[in-house]
Amino acid sequence: MDRYAVFGYPVRHSKSPFIHTLFARQTQQLMEYTLAEPAPDGFAEALRNFFAEGGKGCNITVPFKEQAFALVDSLSPRARLAGAINTIKLTDDGLLLGDNTDGAGLVADLTSQGVSLAGCRILLLGAGGAARGALAPLLAEGPGRLVIANRTHDKAAQLAREFASLGPVEAVRYEDLLGPFDLVINSTSASLQGSLPPIPSSVIHSDIAVYDMMYGAEETPFNAWARAQGARKIMDGLGMLVQQAAEAFTIWRGIRPGTTQVLRELKRNLGVA
């Protein structure tokens, strides 16, 4: 039976084993998917041992994404742009290929929920690894405008410069944000701390779509705030989690699993309405 795993620290909360077990059952793939939680200074050795002992592929989550980027033999173009990887595949010739499926997962989830990105005016909050991973896939959809806002403006400006050749991307300070926007994506981890990015409430209107990459059994603080400002279409990152996992599964197994029923089962597992 082929072995896969997710590496993280901590990682016991991960829903990846649940998701990939359902994918394997659905597609009749003989594989097992487990958790790997090495100490932060033991990741490189644990990764080498996993593949030396017959591992076929793995997912990488915090805090190992950047470290893993430097440990693989080759990178997909989207992983190189993202500067981090979340998926590794052992190729037929014994090399480790690093990929990043986060941005593809985000785009797939937005599309599945009826958000048209072509010509869309997008506000992306945050300029960390999650934002970097999302930028190229979002720009590939042909948005009309993509604005990055971040607490440290210089970081947003640097990101905009790096991706300028891929589409209409710019950096704007939070206090200078002016709409209209069709979609706001929160890539910051503020919701994990129960806080909010300093976005002006004037940006939110009744026709805007709001997406928080975070998720939980309860509505995230950012989404609850957006709802209170009058936003009607509100989404969290649970669908992105399933879609990026489906992308990774496809890289490993060469077959695309369905996501609708798996997302439904995951929501039931989390107690989400």
Binding residues: 14-16, 61, 86, 102, 126-130, 150-155, 213, 215, 237, 244
Which residues fall in the annotated binding site for shikimate?
Answer: 14-16, 61, 86, 102, 215, 244
Q: What is the largest CA-CA distance in the chain?
A: 55
Q: How far apart are CA 34 and CA 220, in angstroms?
A: 28
185 by DSSP, 3-state: which?
A: strand
220 by DSSP, 3-state: which?
A: coil
B/e letters for 19-42, b = 16+ CB within 10 Å, e = fewer, are bbebbbeebebebebeebbbeeee
Name the β-bridge partners of 183: 122, 209
Residues tagged active-site: 65
Which residues fall in the annotated binding site for NADP(+)?
Answer: 126-130, 150-155, 213, 237
Q: How far apart are CA 84 and CA 69, in angstroms?
A: 5
